[in-house]
Amino acid sequence: MDEQLLCFSRDLLPDGIGEASVFTDDSLWQRILGNIEIVPRSEAETDYTRKQLVVYVLVRSGDRILRYRRTPKTDEQRLKELYSIGVGGHVNVGDRSQFSLFQTDPGFNIEFIRDAAWREIDEEISVDAKILREPELTCFINDDSNDVGRVHFGIVWQLDLSEPAVSVKGTKGIGELEFVTLDRLIEDREQFETWSQLLIDHLTSADAGT
């Protein structure tokens, strides 16, 4: 059965965000949530008029950040063998159905998307440390510089752990899990998928206070 994804029209994106950027925009977020479309994945993957919502979770412990490598088993073959610092995947109608167990008409809101982030974390990794707080929404990623990015829109969350202790869970196509410093990420930047490169640059700027 074709997965039903949550998308929105790229016309909602502001003109000034650039071809590839990491940014925050509260008003854009509200417009997106108010204009969600449900689209079959087979259609969405080649529809450049829409953006698919993707949760992208940065897992941290102190000054160390989780990175991993996408194996050939990954769902997104265009990214195989590349490193990533984002645990996550598509937001789909199944996430809304789970949320609906607790509310009659949940709509699409921040808690709904947070639940999608939790689902992806639970599917991909086992967390063997204390979770210090709920995942926090930090920024968005838009990248129209390649075919993968042109149909996806990243919702970046941060999950803070008491210690760097996680392991692979299931067969989602990830391996070589390791917590490393930002300096190490900068050093190995060219080995990462584009979204992670953009996020590494964003973290570097934030760390420098710019």
pLDDT tens digit at each of 210 positions of the chain = 678 899 999 999 987 787 889 998 888 888 888 899 999 999 999 999 999 999 999 999 999 999 999 875 555 555 557 999 999 899 987 765 444 433 434 456 778 888 899 999 998 999 999 999 999 999 999 999 888 889 999 999 999 999 999 999 866 678 899 999 999 999 999 999 999 999 999 999 887 765
Return all residues near 1 (Cβ < 8 A) that are at least 6 apart: none
pLDDT at 147: 86
CA distance 160 to 136: 9
pLDDT at 167: 93
pLDDT at 2: 79
Side chain identity at 57, as an amino acid letter?
A: V
Among 11, 123, 127, 15, smallest CA distance to 61 is for 127
pLDDT at 194: 93
Class of domain 4-208 (CATH, top level): alpha beta
pLDDT at 95: 66
Query: Where do we find the tokens 């639970």?
Result: 122
- Provide φ and ψ at 73, rounded to 5°: -80, -5
Query: Where do we find the tokens 């159905």?
Result: 97
pLDDT at 103: 41
CA distance 189 to 201: 9
Residues in the chain: 210
In sequence order, what are the beta bridge partners of 68?
Answer: 84
User: Domains of the chain: which residue ranges?
Assistant: 4-208
